[in-house]
Amino acid sequence: MKAATTALTRGLTARHIRFIALGSAIGTGLFYGSAEAINRAGPSVLLAYLIGGAAIYIVLRALGEMAVSNPVSGSFGEYASKHLGPLAGFMTGWTYTFEMIVVCLADVTAFGVYMGFWFPDVPRWIWVLAIIFFIGAINLLSVKVFGEVEFWFTLVKIAAIV
């Protein structure tokens, strides 16, 4: 029996990658979390966001420099292992995994809350389940479809900000 060989190809364009990064940076917290913070603390929260954004920018620039000088699979977990030791790499990788789980839970919960504003008679768990199935279906399709969906959702986020 002859094994089928398929070559891997890049399915995402630079436009997809840029908008996936931008959409991730905008995130749910901008709309859901910052509204409560600004309501409680006032516009001074914006100054805190600027300071935090500057710190994140510096860290990401450093990660970019490491990625250019040493392009490896594993990203910052590998860099932490190389420069700080295996325990730091292990902890970094699992911290990132845990953070992604928390972010996913927060995103689907926020989606349920948002939809509850427009459709108050529909239980929130239905919206949460619907978005989980929708995201799962998108991820089962080709990477190009995923990139296009992320591109258009990011445009919606940008339009909401404007």
> How far apart, in whole angstroms, are the C-alpha atoms of residue 50 and residue 39?
17
The domain boundary, picked from 12, 38, 71, lies at 71
The answer to whether position 5 is within a domain reads no
The domain boundary, picked from 38, 71, 104, lies at 71
The domain boundary, picked from 71, 99, 134, lies at 71
Q: How confident is the model at residue 36, as a pLDDT?
A: 79
Measuring CA to CA, how many Å separate 85 from each of 63, 78, 97, 133?
17, 9, 19, 39
Give the sign of the dihedral formed by CA 124, CA 127, CA 128, CA 130.
positive
Q: How confident is the model at residue 134, as a pLDDT?
A: 92
Spatial neighbors of 38 by CB under 8 A, at least 6 apart, are 45, 46
Spatial neighbors of 151 by CB under 8 A, at least 6 apart, are 15, 16, 19, 20
- Residue 142 near residue 15, CB atoms below 8 Å: no
Q: Domain count of the chain?
A: 2
Q: How confident is the model at residue 19, as a pLDDT?
A: 87
Q: What is the dihedral of CA 97, 100, 105, 110, to 10 degrees?
A: 170
Rounded mean pLDDT for each run of 10 residues along the chain, 162 residues in total = 68 86 76 78 85 89 85 82 92 90 86 90 93 91 89 88 81
Q: Is 91 in the same domain as 144?
A: yes
> How far apart, in whole angstroms, are the C-alpha atoms of residue 77 and residue 87?
10
Q: Is 50 in the same domain as 95?
A: no
- Angle between helix axes 75-84 and 44-69 (nearest 10 degrees) is 80
> How far apart, in whole angstroms, are the C-alpha atoms of residue 57 and residue 76?
15
Q: Full-prediction pTM beyond 0.85?
A: no
- Residue 26 near residue 157, CB atoms below 8 Å: yes
DSSP class of 4:
P
Q: Is 66 in the same domain as 41?
A: yes
Q: How confident is the model at residue 8, as a pLDDT?
A: 72
Q: How confident is the model at residue 4, as a pLDDT?
A: 64
Domain of residue 135 covers 87-149
